[in-house]
Amino acid sequence: MIGIGVGGGSAVGPVARMAAPPALPAPHTVAPDRIPDERAAVRRALRETATDLRRRAEATDGTASEVLSAQALMADDPALGDRAEALVAEGTDGAHALAVAFGEFRTALEAAGGYFAERVADLDDLRDRSVARLLGLPMPGLPDPGHPHVLVAEDLAPADTALLDPRRVVALVTERGGPTSHTAILARTLGLPAVVGCAGAADLADGREVLVDGAAGTVRTDPSPEAVAEAAEGDRRRRERVARAHGPGRTADGRPVKLLVNLGGLGELPDAAAADSEGVGLFRTEFLFLDRAEAPGLEEQTAAYREVFTAFAGRRVVVRTLDAGADKPLPFVTAADEQNPALGVRGLRATVRDPRLLETQLAAVARAADGSGAEVWVMAPMVSLPREAADFAARVRAHGLPVAGSMVEVPAAALRSGELARACDFLSIGTNDLAQYTFAADRTLGSLAELLDPWQPALLDLVGTTAREGARHGRPVGVCGEAAADPTLALVLTGLGVTSLSAAPGRLGEVRASLAAHTLDDCRRLADLALTASDAASARAAVSEALG
């Protein structure tokens, strides 16, 4: 079985499937005299669900805690409760009222696309938990077979993944999901082998032995002892390589490749700062702006940025200015009537429309950078034209910040990357969005996973073009998308001319070890193999074969 590999290494074990969600009873009409009690029961179910999620959030930290807290806010949304109660008032029973209300919210999220479409699994989980509480049924959750196992599910929700015990769960396999799903994030955080978007997982029965290869994205049923031994030996060698590799990233013949971490919020800061990295390659600032009615002020932003810069004193921090719109709509920025938000006013376009947002953010970054000891760079998201890059760079420098860059997330930016490079100081490639826009494929759709694979030769063509143009103009070019976390693909990216890679902290060790084992010429030969392949699978196979 083949899916999308999102975790390193391999693991073998018996399957343990997630329990099915509670089944809805046959619908019935609520008698008028019972409507008040049914409405109260619906509200209570939502309230208790939110309370349970907050309790789980308090028992965790970092990204898991933030995700669970956000899910609790969804359960507490007054509009959701009001809609369910309105349905009950019309005579719909509580269980079906909840299902319908959640279904309507789900449709809205799917229509929004991007990040919000990826959160439909969260809504499905909230629906199941709320219905179970209303009906007094067992809560959906993780299986506990009493021994280490491979967890298999249609998809995993934050409430489950946040409390998953890696001593019991040796690998993850899901039918749905993509490289930015909660399952993928969890696998990278815990270092678990994982394969998502694996349609064949639906046929895996409890107790069946499987071998999960997170690097290759494969799931083998009833593996032979020889296959298991070979995988174990490969993992042993990989761990030894990682243990030997320390310090700045470089190839075997000394070509520097900066290894940086991605940072999405202050909750991730301790782990990110402790990582063996050369700094932050992507500091997402949206965490300060989400779930609020108005933008944070100068003082609040300054305090948050200073905390990050101080933690990375002596290292680089690349700040991405507000990437609002599309998958991150903000009531004080984005228009509610956009027909296609992913192709609308997002990223730099949104802050150009409201210049105060960008001016306040740049002022806060400049204040926070002063005296912090960090090397602060600033880049703009969703740049399409060289003129946009030049205007942004001028605004950055006007605030006393010396290094301004542009993200390359749309084909237009890659195709004119030479002009972008002349207009600013560095380029950073976001492979997730670049793949989405290159292949006209919504990155939340598991059915389009093949098109969104970062090994696609057409995508690598655009990366190579950008890297060559950056080098021609003396500008560094980094990759901060999911591609940077793949130790094998990192060799190809280096061969294409990429000068820095930014990924989750837990992935840097393998990337560092992979680079240290190969020369720049090796990387260039591998890049040529990938570029001349016919598709992503062929590119991955050709490189893997060449590596032996």
Q: Any idea which residues carry the catalytic annotation?
A: 182, 480
Residues forming beta bridges with residue 85, ordered by sequence position: none
Residue type, 87: L
- Burial class for 254, CB neighbours closer than 10 Å (0-12, 13-18, 19+): exposed
DSSP 29: B
Tokens of 399: 């605030």
Of 185, 192, 179, the C-alpha closest to 8 is 192
Which H or E element spans position 120? helix 120-135
Asked if residue 6 lies in contact with residue 196, where contact means CB atoms within 8 angstroms, the answer is yes
Strand duo 169-174 + 194-196: pairing:
parallel
Q: How many helices (H) and strands (E) does the chain have?
A: 23, 15
Q: 93-125 burial, b if ≥16 CB within 10 A, otherwise e?
A: bbbbbbbebbeebbeebbebbbbbbbbbbbbbb
**Helix, coil or strand: residue 342:** helix
Question: What tokens does 334 get?
Answer: 């984005």
Dihedral of CA atoms 313, 318, 322, 325 in degrees, nearest 10, equals -140
Q: Which residues pair with 173 in a beta bridge?
A: 152, 195
d(CA 266, CA 531): 38
Task: Find out whether 407 and 381 touch, Cβ atoms under 8 Å.
Answer: yes
Say how far apart CA 393 and CA 422 lie, in whole Å: 11
190's tokens: 């815990």
